[in-house]
Structure 1
Amino acid sequence: MSETLIRLTVEPLTAEAFAPFGDVIATADAQRHFTINGGNTERYHDLARIDPGPDGRAIVSIFRGQPRRLPFTVEMMERHPLGSQAFVPLSGGAYLVVVAPAGNPPGVEDLRVFLARGDQGVNYACGVWHHPLLALDGVSDFLVIDRAGEGPNCDEVRLDEAGVIELGD
């Protein structure tokens, strides 16, 4: 990897901006929602396409992420070629989402960085490149829905050039 660090721009996480990479999981008036349980609960319905792939099954886990310090250097990416992977924050803290389109291993120029609020989850579509968990505000728990089944479902690559994430300017 070269010694040059490419500065990455951080964008707000919106459903429109994130659409090429998967789904934003959040309660919003634009989402289909309706009252259930005798009027006591508002159900926000079908917020993400969970894809366990052929011969897979959806599983639910909790990931506990240690906070990352900024500036943070992005040197690697991973993908899950056989199924989607959803992250829903449980601790309420902001976190970063680094993604690149599915397909060939990404370069730093392919990366997009989103700042997710503590009330927004993401569902990475099958094969989308992403960085592992980037919690910001302390130890953070995430409900994770992904695939269990036969076959290798995690590819990792090192970037030829690193990217650096900074906030606050």
Structure 2
Amino acid sequence: MLIIPTPLTAEAFAPYGHVLQCPRQPARQYHDPILANLRGSGASPSLSLITVAPTALPLRLTALERHAYSSQTFIPLDVAAYVVIVAPRAPDGGPDGGAAQAFLAGPEQAVSYHADTWHHGLTVLERQARFAILMWRAGDDGDEEFRPIAPVSVAGV
């Protein structure tokens, strides 16, 4: 299967999470309601910083990940462009790789995955990139899960 990335929009991404952008004019936005911790007091907020090497497209996917109990937010700090790859749940609860979608995100777009959303790791294009990541962690196996999928290719843009 070949996936062709489409531009990231809030409407298209809504089944998987939220697209965040800073206000164009001086102002502050609060996004607290989208930060989900489904474990309650058993998990703590986790803020991490990551530097990611660029990846050339096409990309071959063989596994996806999810965080069943936590939203996960990626905030670009120094990014040119990146691809956000998501998939709905299959009837068995795993990822439905055959229905995966890819979105092309710009440097001003942050994404926040809903808890329990199957997705691929950060895939940055053009040059090395830096992100801040916010999620909830309990320090156990429930923090993240990886599952294999039938190979899927994401086309170049």
Which TM class, normalised by the smaller chain length? 0.7 to 0.9
Structure 1 runs not aligned, ≥5 long: 1-5, 30-34, 36-40
2:57 and 2:153 map into 1 onto residues whose CA distance is 9
Partner of 2:28: helix, strand, or coil?
strand
* Residue-by-residue CA offset, 1:14-33 (whole Å, 9 max, x unaligned): 1111111011111357xxxx
RMSD after superposition: 1.9
* Residue-by-residue CA offset, 1:94-121 (whole Å, 9 max, x unaligned): 1000001246212332201100101101
Q: Where do 1:136-147 residues align within 5 Å?
A: 136-147=125-136
1:157 Cα deviation after fit? 0.8
Instruction: Judge conservation of contact 1:99–1:130 (CA < 8 Å) in 2.
Output: yes
1:73 corresponding residue in structure 2: 60
* Residue-by-residue CA offset, 1:31-73 (whole Å, 9 max, x unaligned): xxxx8xxxxx421232761113322122211011111111111
Q: Does 1:148 align with 2:137?
A: yes
Write 1 or 2 for the structure with the bigger share of helix.
2
Give the greater-gyration-radius structure (CA). 1
1:68 and 1:133 map into 2 onto residues whose CA distance is 9
Q: Does 1:157 align with 2:152?
A: no
Q: Where do 1:13-24 residues align within 5 Å?
A: 13-24=8-19
1:51 corresponding residue in structure 2: 36
Structure 2 runs not aligned, ≥5 long: none
Partner of 1:69: helix, strand, or coil?
coil
TM-score normalised by L of structure 1: 0.82
1:95 corresponding residue in structure 2: 82
2:31 and 2:125 map into 1 onto residues whose CA distance is 28
Instruction: Judge conservation of contact 1:100–1:129 (CA < 8 Å) in 2.
Output: yes
